[in-house]
Amino acid sequence: MRLNSVVRITNGNMGRDVAFGRAPKKGYEEQDFNRTLKVSFDYLGTENVSLIMHGVSFPEIQGQYNSKVGTPNGAGELVEFTQLHGFNSHQLGPNGKLKYGDDDTSPYSSSVFEKNTLFINFNQLLSGDYASILDEKDLAKYLEKPKATSKNFTTANYKEAKKDTDALLDIAYKNFSSKLKAGNKDAIRLNDEFTAFQKQNSQWLDYYAVLSIITKQHNTDYYPNWPQEDQNLIYDVKQGDTVAKQRFERIIADNKEEIEKYKFAQFLVDKQTKADNIARGGYVYISDLEVGTSSLDELVFKDVFLPNYKIGCKYGGIKNSPQLWGISIPDPNKLFNKDGSLGPSGQFIKAKLQNALSGAQSIRIDHAMGLVNPYLYKPESVKYAVAFENGQRIKYPIREALHAGYLSELGIDKNNNYQKVLSKIVIPTMEEMGINPQDVIWEDLGNDETGIFDKIFRDELHLPGISCMIWEKGTDARQKRDNWAYVGCHDNKPGRQLVHDKETRKQEPWKSEYLVDALRCDPYKSAERSALERKITLSPKELWKAKLADLFYSTKNIQISFMDFFGINKSFNTPGTVGAENWSLRLNSNYKDTYYRALENNDWAINMPEILEMAVQAKFDEEVSKNHKPYWETREQVDPILRKLNYWKNVLKVKESK
């Protein structure tokens, strides 16, 4: 996965200047703009630029009826826009079904196998490819067409989206059934696809369908509150228990239509996801392999999980206390059979990865350390301390009371099986699916004090990690250019807030002295160095631009959050908290207008040519002053790029021509 290479630009083939308003126009202008960015990327050695944007945050689609949450399916207009501005991929969040209810909408506690049906694009069900199982009146009753807004964001409404989705799926399934009985050819073809989907996913589909019925009966998927016979039903069925089998079959018989509708909904979102994968062409969707699972996953695959322990993180909680995630991990003693083949836990990890990659071309591995030497604790040992901060009562786990440690310290994994998960399961599965592990985003943040993670992940497998440039300087990131780097992800504040944060600005990577040396290293350019220092000292906005330039100069794999690119002054998620604000930020439908208006006003949205101009100039200065490349030869290559970047930077800042 990498940006398409382009011809080297010279004075002779840079193209003519174009006099027009702020947004590049279709045709030559867009081609020239995009070519300028790509040539700049080539000079900098940039291979990938990815927009971090979870599915829920995708905007409403103009001219269509839209749900109250976003969907990555059918988002061709946004893909075209981001490609124009230099991106070659989107990093999505986990795509699994969310928890039952509306309290916790985190995708990182979603299902491994069940897909999120909120991502169904109902407009597509009007077409013959879906046997026209909905019509426009159905959509108009429950969905809305987008309205323009002066804000550059809106907010997803999960509660209303779930209601609308359930209602439309009811209608769609009834229409599908009626058309099938009537012998409709499109419905017959769709049913053939549906039948094939059920066969391909038979190892999990019936189990989750039955659990969806039980979940509704108890009005919660938090299974510890269920009766034991419900908690153990799937496990007992798998063990061949006759009474459990009879009850399982009775639930299916008594709820036949609901069961079929559940399966049909899973089929629809699967079909759309795979079709959209083809329609995007070379633009990459990067999925997200969450470290966790849903509560229903634990019931369906009860025999694969390690009993009595949950995974967390030793540090990073309130007052740097342990983070207790409440997530089960596969049993290390069931990863491999005696003959070396995959055991139940190993098969689960493989299937989890395969499912996460369905409809995507690459993947982010959440908490990679959890696949090597996870930090585990016993839930019954948790005790809390209480403190008051800013007038609020907070509680946090007492480290000394925890029965906890890294897996390698607990005596559970006597054969060190977990230390083989990457080399024996994860990497071979990626390669089977045509994915180079070196292209994968491995979230390696965290600290394994035993040294085992570093030994396996870095020394033996030589895998790239993450460079978070909130805390890391670009000069350090350049020593790890294969890493993916960002200044902020879905868990961080947007850049326009970071630059106003006193604690952040105390960090070395944000200091003007460092940034001036990084971006204007030529000591003979004292006037330019002084001017840059004044700008980034006096203006938080200019400081932010300098941070982004340091990012683009320093690494070949870059990630930018959608909040930062579009200049949104809100966070997507605040770690360690649960609330309506989390996971709900969404791009507005008229994002092009608000984006270009922000550039016109020199607001916080990212002007890509402006940032690249700073980065290209920084590399040129270093090549000449430190690496002693011939000045005029290098200048001849760089000057045309800088002129074009400067031109487009200014074009994007002028008012629209009428």
Q: Is 478 domain-assigned?
A: no
Centroid of chain to Cα 317: 22
DSSP class of residue 2 equals -
Q: Is 277 domain-assigned?
A: yes
Answer yes or no: do 311 and 270 share one domain: no
> Is 653 exposed, middle or buried (CB count within 10 Å of its CB: 0-12, 13-18, 19+)?
middle
Answer yes or no: do 150 and 259 share one domain: yes
Single out the residue of 609, 629, 621 nearest to residue 35, CA to CA. Answer: 609
Single out the residue of 557, 556, 558, 284 nearest to residue 434, CA to CA. Answer: 284
CA distance 245 to 582: 40
For the ranges 13-17, 242-246, 557-561, 590-594, the lowest mean pLDDT is seen at 13-17
**Mean of all residue pLDDT scores within the chain:** 93
Q: Is 637 domain-assigned?
A: no
Angle between helix axes 512-519 and 540-554 (nearest 10 degrees) is 50
Examine the fold and report which residue of 464, 482, 503 is the final residue of a domain before the chain moves on.
464
- What residues contact residue 21 under an 8 Å CB cut-off, 6+ apart? 651, 654, 655, 656, 657, 658
Question: In terms of residue numbers, what domain contains 330?
Answer: 301-464
Specify the length of the chain in residues.
Answer: 658
Answer yes or no: do 245 and 117 share one domain: yes
Q: Is 549 domain-assigned?
A: no
Examine the fold and report which residue of 464, 488, 510 is the final residue of a domain before the chain moves on.
464
Answer yes or no: do 457 and 387 share one domain: yes
Phi, psi of 154 (to 5 degrees): -140, -175
Q: Is 520 domain-assigned?
A: no
Question: 450-464 pLDDT, tens per residue?
Answer: 999 999 999 999 999
Q: Is 197 domain-assigned?
A: yes
Answer yes or no: do 310 and 340 share one domain: yes
CA distance 331 to 347: 11
Rg of the chain over Cα atoms, rounded to whole angstroms, equals 26
Examine the fold and report which residue of 258, 284, 310 is the final residue of a domain before the chain moves on.
284
Question: 158-191 pLDDT, tens per residue?
Answer: 999 999 999 999 999 999 999 999 999 999 999 9
- What residues contact residue 577 under an 8 Å CB cut-off, 6+ apart? none
Strand partners, 52: 91, 561
Question: 304-343 pLDDT, tens per residue?
Answer: 999 999 999 999 888 889 999 999 999 999 999 999 999 9
Single out the residue of 582, 586, 550 nearest to residue 568, CA to CA. Answer: 586
Question: 62-104 pLDDT, tens per residue?
Answer: 899 999 999 999 999 999 999 999 999 999 999 999 999 877 8
Residue 611 has pLDDT above 90, yes or no: yes
Single out the residue of 494, 489, 469 nearest to residue 480, CA to CA. Answer: 469
> Is 547 exposed, middle or buried (CB count within 10 Å of its CB: 0-12, 13-18, 19+)?
buried
**Token pair recorded at residue 412:** 């559970």
Residue 554 has pLDDT above 50, yes or no: yes
Domain count, the chain: 2
Answer yes or no: do 225 and 354 share one domain: no
Answer yes or no: do 138 and 105 share one domain: yes
CA distance 106 to 110: 7
Place of tokens 């947004």: 23
Taking residue 83's Cβ as centre, other Cβ atoms within 10 Å add up to: 17
Q: Name the helix (H) or strand (E) containing 47.
A: none
CA distance 171 to 141: 12
Answer yes or no: do 326 and 256 share one domain: no
- What residues contact residue 357 under an 8 Å CB cut-off, 6+ apart? 287, 363, 433, 435
Place of tokens 């270009």: 596
Q: Is 201 domain-assigned?
A: yes
Q: Say whether 362 sits in a helix, a strand or coil.
A: strand
Answer yes or no: do 149 and 108 share one domain: yes
Q: Is 596 domain-assigned?
A: no
Question: 9-52 pLDDT, tens per residue?
Answer: 333 334 444 333 479 989 999 999 999 999 999 999 999 999 99
Answer yes or no: do 172 and 312 share one domain: no
Question: 335-368 pLDDT, tens per residue?
Answer: 999 999 999 999 999 999 999 998 899 999 999 9
Q: Say whether 187 sits in a helix, a strand or coil.
A: helix
Please state the rounded mean pLDDT for residues 183-206: 97
Answer yes or no: do 130 and 248 share one domain: yes
**Token pair recorded at residue 343:** 């055991």
Single out the residue of 629, 614, 457, 595 nearest to residue 549, CA to CA. Answer: 614
Taking residue 6's Cβ as centre, other Cβ atoms within 10 Å add up to: 15
Q: What is the CATH number of the domain that holds 160?
A: 3.20.20.80
pTM, two decimals, is 0.94
CA distance 165 to 256: 20
CA distance 445 to 469: 12
> Is 419 exposed, middle or buried (CB count within 10 Å of its CB: 0-12, 13-18, 19+)?
buried
**Token pair recorded at residue 116:** 């999120």
Is-contact 123 65, C-beta < 8 A?
Answer: yes
Is-contact 36 130, C-beta < 8 A?
Answer: no
Answer yes or no: do 438 and 323 share one domain: yes
The reported pLDDT for the residue numbered 657 is 56
**Token pair recorded at residue 545:** 């631009």
Question: 378-404 pLDDT, tens per residue?
Answer: 999 999 999 887 778 888 999 999 999
